[in-house]
Structure 1
Amino acid sequence: MADRLKGKLALVTAAAAGMGRAAALAFAREGAQVIATDINAGLLKEIEGKDGIRTTVLDMLDEKAVNAFAEKTGAVNILFNCAGWVHQGSLLDCTLADWDRSFNLNVRSMFVMTKAMLPRMIDKGGGVILNMASVLGTEKAAPNRLAYAASKAAVAGFTRALAIDHVKQGIRVNCVCPGTVDTPSLGDRINAFADPAQARKDFIARQPMGRLATAEEIAETFVYLVSEESSFMTGQAVFVDGGMSL
């Protein structure tokens, strides 16, 4: 199936790498005009122009910059809030700075961007908002993911509340809860272990399917959730976790 997003304008945050990049490329492949943002200018350049993708360097922690970007961009049909960060450690390892960074990147940035874009989407007649959650915090716990899990649980709650508040204004809101995905971010975390090879085996072992997901296969769920194929879905946490939540 092709052109599932033809005629749509999609905004993807954290689009320079990993699942954000896969989403931007998949949306563009399906015919959407895509605006891809990230703080990493170098990596953004790699997808500039692919299937018409436009890129903008944007710091999601800078509220003024986000608001200025929204004012310049105007309404979109699709907003994918993908920016985030994973803290490694238990409560005893988590500083207040770690906690704040987790919530600032995983939740506050989502609030700020949605706050800036939602009125414009409503004025245009509606649209779709997709948020990046996780199986961790939404359905399952894992060791050494306290701040991350807490912030992703907040994303799930934010998604449901946003959905019920604006369903009658033509706005659909869902979140995706992936399992362990083989992204550059995961690679960095694995390489930070004393034994990276064993760390990778441990990440794979917690997946019942016995492998990690690819960003590209998770992106197919993103496409479904922002397309008309999911037009009767809102307020849902969709698990694409290889059985991790079972």
Structure 2
Amino acid sequence: MSAAGPDFARDFEGLGAVVTGGASGIGAAVAALLRDRGARVAVLDRDPSGAPDGVLALKADVTDDDAVRTAVDTAAAEFGALHTVVSNAGVGAVGTVADNSDDEWHRVLDINVTGMVRVARHALPHLRAAAAERPGCVSVTHTCSIAATAGLPGRALYSASKGAVLSLTLAMAADHVREGIRVNCVNPGTADTPWIGRLLDRADDPAAERAALEARQPTGRLVTAAEVAAAIAYLASPAAAAVTGTALAVDGGMQGLRLRPAT
């Protein structure tokens, strides 16, 4: 640290990080940003071929407990320590409660919620060890969603899974704060990601659907992956050493603002 304060351009120098779902969209943006700010980064993904250059790309499905354990242990061994976990892997779901089968509910919850549990379970021994050496530098950050806190039509299953992620974040923050492990989440609004792209491709009128999604956010545009990554990097960084049990909205004002219709 200089006399002027910390160098945020390299604030992850010497830290080991794992990013799940890090080969595309928000996860890839996070992995690249942490790498650029000095972290040694491992990407865990079902298909890690799209992982950013300069990271350790590991094939792992978050529904496979053995694969998650192996990948997390491999990253910790390669880096010598594990300080930061970004649990970002997840899937979307569309429909009301009448539109998805039990099997689909089980699949989505297994990925979006239990997948985060598996990653945390196997990362915790490494995070505890790192917290003893680098206080304030150890964190878990979950990618949650505005769907956890706002009622969105046609998103019952997805919203339920993200509501569970929000509750999981708070419970983990309470469980591990005295171990020196901070746990937070980000709640993106509708983000311009590959999943939204596929959703738009299936719409009867993709342009009209995109316009409706943009209009739903007070800023009038979709959130970018880079904007969500910046928020995650803050929560994971030593600059947020006093921040735990927090849900940071990156939603263009969607959660808190109630604008009058434009005239």
Match of 1:148 in 2: 158
Q: Which moved more, 1:168-177 or 1:54-63?
A: 54-63
State the shift of 1:102 in Å: 1.6
Match of 1:157 in 2: 167
Match of 2:21 in 1: 14
Structure 2 CA distance for aligned equivalents of residues 72 and 206 of structure 1: 42
1:233 matches 2:243? yes
State the shift of 1:53 in Å: 1.3
Q: Which moved more, 1:67-76 or 1:121-130?
A: 67-76
Deviations 1:15-64 (A, max 9, x none): 111100000001011111111121124323xx2xx3x3111111111111
CA contact under 8 A between 2:20 and 2:88: conserved in structure 1?
yes
Which one-letter code corresponds to 2:235 in the other structure? L
1:185 matches 2:192? no
State the shift of 1:65 in Å: 1.0
Structure 1 CA distance for aligned equivalents of residues 68 and 230 of structure 2: 27
SS at match of 2:98: helix
Match of 2:42 in 1: 35
CA contact under 8 A between 2:141 and 2:186: conserved in structure 1?
yes
Alignment of 1:61-210 (within 5 A): 61-74=63-76, 75-125=81-131, 127-137=138-148, 139-210=149-220
Structure 2 CA distance for aligned equivalents of residues 201 and 152 of structure 1: 24
1:60 matches 2:62? yes
State the shift of 1:232 in Å: 0.4
State the shift of 1:72 in Å: 2.8
Deviations 1:127-149 (A, max 9, x none): 10001111112x21110000111
Which one-letter code corresponds to 1:190 in the other structure? L
What's the TM-score once normalised by structure 2's chain length? 0.88
Structure possessing the higher radius of gyration over alpha carbons: 2
Identity %: 36
Number of residues of Structure 1 aligned to a counterpart in Structure 2: 240
Structure 2 CA distance for aligned equivalents of residues 57 and 240 of structure 1: 29
Structure 2 CA distance for aligned equivalents of residues 206 and 135 of structure 1: 12
Which one-letter code corresponds to 2:46 in the other structure? I
Deviations 1:206-240 (A, max 9, x none): 11110011101111111111111111010111111
What's the TM-score once normalised by structure 1's chain length? 0.94
Structure 2 CA distance for aligned equivalents of residues 26 and 81 of structure 1: 15
Residues 3 and 41 of structure 1, relative CA distance in 2, 3 Å threshold: closer
SS at match of 2:10: coil
Structure 2 CA distance for aligned equivalents of residues 16 and 192 of structure 1: 23
SS at match of 1:136: helix
State the shift of 1:156 in Å: 0.7
CA contact under 8 A between 2:22 and 2:48: conserved in structure 1?
no
Structure 2 CA distance for aligned equivalents of residues 3 and 72 of structure 1: 24
Q: CA RMSD in A?
A: 1.2
